[in-house]
Amino acid sequence: MQRIYDAQNELSAATHLTSKLLKEYEKQRFPLGGDDEVMSSTLQQFAKVIDELSSCHAVLSTQLADAMMFPISQFKERDLKEILTLKEVFQIASNDHDAAIHRYSRLSKKRENEKVKLEVMEDVYTSRKKQHQTTMHYFCALNTLQYKKKIAVLEPLLGYMQAQISFFKMGSENLTDQLEEFLANIGTSVQNVRREMDCEVETMQQTIQDLEVASDPLYLPDPDPKKLPVNRNLTRKAGYLNLRNKTGLVSSTWERQYYFTQGGNLMSQARGDVAGGLVMDIDNCSVMAVDCEDRRYCFQITAFDGKKSVILQAESRKDSEEWICTINNISKRIYLSENAEEIAARVNQSALEAVTPSPSFQQRHESMRPTSQSRPHAVRTNSSGSLGSDSAVLAALALDSIVAPDIPIQFDIISPVSEDLAGQGKTPGQSGRRTNPFGESGDTKSESEDSILHQLFIVRFLGSMEVKADESSDVVYETMRQILAARAIHNIFRMTESHLVVTCDCLKLIDPQTQVTRLRFPLPNVVLYATHQENKRLFGFVLRTAGGRIEGRPISVCYIFESNNEGEKICDSVGLAKQIALHSELDRRASEKQKEMDKVKENQQKELSKQKQIEKDLEEQSRLIAASSRPNQTTGDGQFVTLSSSQSEDSDVGEDGKKKKESEA
């Protein structure tokens, strides 16, 4: 295909070579892949069509680059590199687990240091869980690769044919209607394979979740016998044990290998070996728990003739008792019967007597048994610590053009105390916000209680980083890819669980235990939000900060979260909140405009009333002036009285005042 793209003059030879390679595809034997007759016949038909097109000597380079070279280069650069990365992560997790088991096995029963014991148990728990998670993700990626392998072959060929059809404008003699129908069928088949892959990936993801929940008690090196009881009816067993090798009269070494029962034999297999080797014949053998000076949970197997014996150490008391019961059942040849478990249940009493340790051994190790209060679960629930130190290492990652270069990734949420220190200092008269242990405050009502929308989701913070653009959802997808890849490369599996509250004013991250708000995102600043196209548990949003600009553009930060299959619901809730906020803002503006109109109308009414009052006063003055200009009126006794404006003032004067006025007149 590269020759087709590079040399137009060699187009005929290159297409002929492509056809030849497609004919030989059915001879290939890929790992983890069975014989697919439909795939082989489809490629054979492709080979015939390309033979017919081998006479064409020119093709549009841009169409070939977009439709043919891009999908297969993406498969090589992204999918295959992802498998190699997961393989390295799996190898590292496996080595860490071996180191943790080695430290745990070397715990001495004489030392009464509970702190060291808890640290070692926590290390075993973390490394074992990490190994299990990486193993499942590695297997999931390997299975997914089988689908991507088919798509990586079919899509470039389909794009090549579509480019040829477009170039010759559907008018070439080689491009018939039958060929178009064949290509349409192949396109439909590719989409079916993709949908089948998506369903398979979703099923595997759900299976991984179920296995993680079901396997959580198994991560402890010494589980609680009440939760995981001992199965005393086994007739075969396999697992890792430590074998004691004598190096001197009093010195010895321990070697960890994988042991399994096969019929009446005990087999062992070292890591890297292709097959197991015989340790000893356990038919008619004797097994019992022994008290070793430097190790716990040890048991000794002695052959039927007494000439050979081995001392093995199990990881826990439960594992040790199950190994002893299994070897006892095999020793009695119970495995040869048809109903082995029923017969083993009958001899359960004798097996219990064989695994009972001596009183001194039990008393000396009773104090070292982990209690319910010292389980590592209480330690790992607190995951609010910041991983900012890893950001300097991740700053060297090559980011795309839509993500700002040389910007570190924040993998955890900054605590509220750090946020207060980073912000502006409080004024002297302003008191700090008091928070009680129950998450209540002295305020009357929070802003979320007055909001129309109030929805809560359980999320886990994966990381955040600064981005250049905030117009397309590709920004969120690229940020998801880089954060997940960085977590896998640097073995970061810890996530902070929070409650995401969506209101009409903001998005808030609340601590589920203390109910303290960790982060608050104003809703108008959330300019973009999207969920992952394939994994619906992943979603993210872009927050445009209020202050600060870089190179003439505002600073935007993309936050990525993981939910419990509610990514689309959260995005719908954020969209609903923004719509409600928009309608509320429009209603508020309309209300303000109505108030302004009412105020203007009220001012006009006041001006009109004032104008009417002025006109009324002018009319009153005119009446008084007209009255003063009339001829003098006579009184009843024939005297003349002159009317004046002062006469109105005399209306309130008494009778004596009136007489005095008249006399003066």
Judging by beta carbons within 10 Å of its beta carbon (0-12, 13-18, 19+), is residue 376 exposed, middle or buried? buried
Domains of the chain: 1-26+36-175 (1.20.1270.60), 238-337 (2.30.29.30), 451-614 (2.30.29.30)
Q: What per-residue confidence (pLDDT) applies to 393?
A: 34
| Mean pLDDT calculated for residue range 263-292 | 88
| Eight-state DSSP code of residue 494 | -
Distance CA(521)–CA(533), nearest Å, equals 24
| Mean pLDDT calculated for residue range 24-50 | 77
pLDDT tens-digit series, residues 222-272: 877 778 888 888 888 999 999 998 887 777 889 999 999 998 899 999 888
Which pLDDT band, with edges at 50, 70 and 90, does 283 fall under? confident
Residue 298's beta-bridge partner residues? Answer: 290, 313
| Mean pLDDT calculated for residue range 427-442 | 39
Element (H, E) at 562: strand 553-563
Q: Which of 51-60, 502-511, 572-581 has the lowest mean pLDDT?
A: 51-60
pLDDT tens-digit series, residues 302-343: 988 888 889 999 988 889 989 998 998 888 888 887 777 777
Percent of the chain with pLDDT over 70: 73
Residue 549's beta-bridge partner residues? Answer: 554
- 595 Cβ contact list (under 8 Å, min separation 6): none
Higher pLDDT, 331 or 402: 331
Distance CA(357)–CA(299), nearest Å, equals 10
Q: What per-residue confidence (pLDDT) applies to 44?
A: 82
pLDDT tens-digit series, residues 207-223: 999 998 888 877 888 87
Phi-psi region of 284 (alpha: psi -120 to 50; beta: other; left: phi over 0): left
Higher pLDDT, 632 or 280: 280
| Mean pLDDT calculated for residue range 435-440 | 39
Say if CB 524 and CB 580 are below 8 A apart: no
Distance CA(642)–CA(665), nearest Å, equals 8
DSSP SS3 for 117: helix
Percent of the chain with pLDDT over 90: 15
Distance CA(480)–CA(537), nearest Å, equals 12
Distance CA(647)–CA(659), nearest Å, equals 13
Distance CA(100)–CA(315), nearest Å, equals 12
Say if CB 54 and CB 4 are below 8 A apart: no
Distance CA(236)–CA(624), nearest Å, equals 128
Smallest CA-to-CA distance from 462 within 424, 500, 516, 423 is with 500
Q: What per-residue confidence (pLDDT) applies to 207?
A: 93
Q: Which amino acid is at 552?
A: G
Q: What per-residue confidence (pLDDT) applies to 433?
A: 40
Higher pLDDT, 243 or 547: 243
pLDDT at position 133 over 60: yes
For the beta carbon of residue 344, count every other beta carbon within 10 angstroms. 24
Say if CB 452 and CB 580 are below 8 A apart: yes
pLDDT at position 398 over 80: no
Say if CB 242 and CB 254 are below 8 A apart: yes
Higher pLDDT, 224 or 639: 224
Q: What per-residue confidence (pLDDT) applies to 173?
A: 63
| Mean pLDDT calculated for residue range 401-416 | 66
Q: What per-residue confidence (pLDDT) applies to 377?
A: 33
Distance CA(52)–CA(627), nearest Å, equals 121
Q: Which residues in 228-253 are b (16+ Cβ under 10 Å) and which e?
A: eebebbbbebeebbbbbeeeeeeeee
Judging by beta carbons within 10 Å of its beta carbon (0-12, 13-18, 19+), is residue 549 exposed, middle or buried? exposed
Q: What per-residue confidence (pLDDT) applies to 118?
A: 86
Q: What per-residue confidence (pLDDT) applies to 495?
A: 74
